[in-house]
Amino acid sequence: MVPKTKWALPLLFAATLAAQQRPQQPTPKSPAAAERYAALQAEQKKLTEEWMAKVKAMSAEAEAAKKDGKPMPAMPMRPDTSAIGKQALAAAKEMTDGDDAVPFLLMVVNADRSAAADALSLLGDKYADHPATAQIGPMIGFLPRIVGEDKAPAIAEKFARSGNADVRGWAVFAKHEKTIETADREGDAYQGAKSELVKVAELAASADLKDRVRQAIDTREKYGVGIVAPDIEGTDLDGVAFKLSDYRGKVVFLDFWGDW
Amino acid sequence: MYPHERSLVEEMKDKPFALIGVNSDKEIARAKKAVADNNLNWRSFHAGPEGTRGPIPKAWAVQGWPTIVVLDADGRIQYRGHDGDAATKVAEDLVGKLTAGK
């Protein structure tokens, strides 16, 4: 038997990867709104930089404490940007043009969790069709965590009715992701979710969304439990070519690992 | 992780079992250093210079590391997930069935 020491908790990079793929944040069109936006953004940047400096100082302290066997210093608190979020929400409410309002609403979601539900509701009610709203697409799946289980479904539904193919696509993806992951592949629930997803992916412009839909379906149908795995042909760390199928006849423990 | 994988390979060395890695470090040198520093005793594909977004992780839709996939002797997927203990149990059971009566 393998010793029953606990495996390290899986280090999940999905969130980091999603963050890397996030395109440039849109900025308001009208000069007055753009100026207001830039001021809030500068304030946010300043707070973040101050916090980063504290984190850096703390790491240095931690190094020293480790050497001297002293207790570790506490991690500095993340900056409180809720005031910025509230100002951004107030600004968005004064505006009527999506080109101006949407960037402020997106800012609220990042800066102030307590105002996120209001901002996302407004976004869904008035600007669901606006192209910049597609920015929140990947977040729709996390709505329960952002605004709470109680408010999430109603907000998601607003995006699911959007005239923008990407916004709608992300909302449909969020709705069906679990079904694709877990439902019986031969069953109606799975087949229905799949055909709806294939349709929204076709209509969507977002390469990210198309990828996620394809991967979710492939994970079940090409690389899921019960499926004969497609071969891997590659080279090992010394550059020698080999194939996964070289190991047929043996049980294979395929481990996607990295040293990072 | 490394000690668990190492001991799994050690335990299974005379059995119909192979631990195959898909190393997803961008730099192959980094992977080779990890192998040398930690006495890693299994063979790995290298996912290529794009690392976690290289062709193998991408095709297999791997979005979290580590991901473990256990294949039976016919190449059929029997486990997919992030839980090393669960994956080990599945692999041990499969090897047990394969070697029963031999």
Is B56 close to A8, i.e. CB distance below 8 A? no
B66 upstream amide cis, omega within 30 of 0: yes
* DSSP E strand stretches across A74-193: none
Digit-coded pLDDT (tens) for A138-188: 999 999 999 999 999 999 999 999 999 999 999 999 999 999 988 999 999
The position carrying tokens 């830039």 is A38
Predicted confidence at residue B2, as pLDDT, reads 84
What percent of chain A stands above pLDDT 70? Answer: 91
CA distance A234 to chain B (A): 6
Give φ, ψ of A98 to 5 degrees. Answer: -55, -35
Give φ, ψ of A156 to 5 degrees. Answer: -60, -40
Residue A220 and residue B61: Cα distance in Å, rounded?
10
Give φ, ψ of B77 to 5 degrees. Answer: -70, 125
Residue B5 and residue B2: Cα distance in Å, rounded?
5
Residue A250 has pLDDT above 70, yes or no: yes
Residue B39 and residue A127: Cα distance in Å, rounded?
56
DSSP state of A250: S
Q: What is the per-residue DSSP string for A164-175?
A: SHHHHHHHHHHH
What would the mean pLDDT of A87-107 be, rounded to a whole number?
96
Interface test with B, best of A5, A213, A257 (most B CBs within 10 A): A257
Digit-coded pLDDT (tens) for B28-83: 999 999 999 999 999 999 999 999 989 999 888 888 889 999 999 999 999 999 99
CB-based contacts of A260, cutoff 8 Å, min separation 6 = B25
Interface test with B, best of A247, A253, A259 (most B CBs within 10 A): A253
Assigned token pair, B2: 């490394």
Digit-coded pLDDT (tens) for B78-97: 999 999 999 999 999 999 99
Predicted confidence at residue A11, as pLDDT, reads 36
CA distance A21 to chain B (A): 12
CA-closest candidate to residue A89, choices A71, A56, A113: A113
Q: Which of residues 165-224 of A touch B (CB under 8 A)?
A: 215-216, 218-219, 223-224
Q: Is residue B100 part of a domain?
A: no
The position carrying tokens 């590659």 is A234
Is A250 close to B17, i.e. CB distance below 8 A? yes
Beta-bridge partner residues of A233: A243
Q: Is residue B102 part of a domain?
A: no
Contacts of A13 in chain B (CB under 8 A): 52, 63-65
Q: Which helix (H) or strand (E) holds B69?
A: strand B67-71
Domain around B19: 2-93
What is the tally of structural domains in chain B? 1
CB-based contacts of A143, cutoff 8 Å, min separation 6 = A120, A151, A152, A155, A156, A174
**Domain extents for chain A?**
22-127, 136-260
Domain of B36, CATH number, reads 3.40.30.10
Measured CA angle at B26 (ends B21, B30), to 5 deg: 75
The number of C-alpha atoms within 13 Å of A193 and in the hemisphere containing its C-beta is 25
Residue A97 and residue A240: Cα distance in Å, rounded?
59
**A98 and A164 in contact (C-beta within 8 Å)?**
no
Predicted confidence at residue A260, as pLDDT, reads 76
CA-closest candidate to residue A137, choices A47, A204, A236, A226: A204
Predicted confidence at residue A13, as pLDDT, reads 39
Measured CA angle at A56 (ends A51, A61), to 5 deg: 120
Digit-coded pLDDT (tens) for A209-235: 999 999 899 988 988 888 999 999 999
Predicted confidence at residue A2, as pLDDT, reads 38
**A133 and A167 in contact (C-beta within 8 Å)?**
yes
How far is residue A46 from each of residues A5, A22, A220, B4, measured CA to CA in Å?
Answer: 44, 21, 45, 44
Digit-coded pLDDT (tens) for A49-76: 999 999 999 989 988 888 888 888 888 8
Q: Is residue B98 part of a domain?
A: no
Query: Cβ atoms within 10 A of the Cβ of A82, count?
Result: 14
CB-based contacts of B92, cutoff 8 Å, min separation 6 = A1, A2
Q: Is residue B78 part of a domain?
A: yes
Digit-coded pLDDT (tens) for A103-136: 999 999 989 999 999 999 999 999 999 999 999 9
The position carrying tokens 């107030």 is A90
Q: Is residue B73 part of a domain?
A: yes
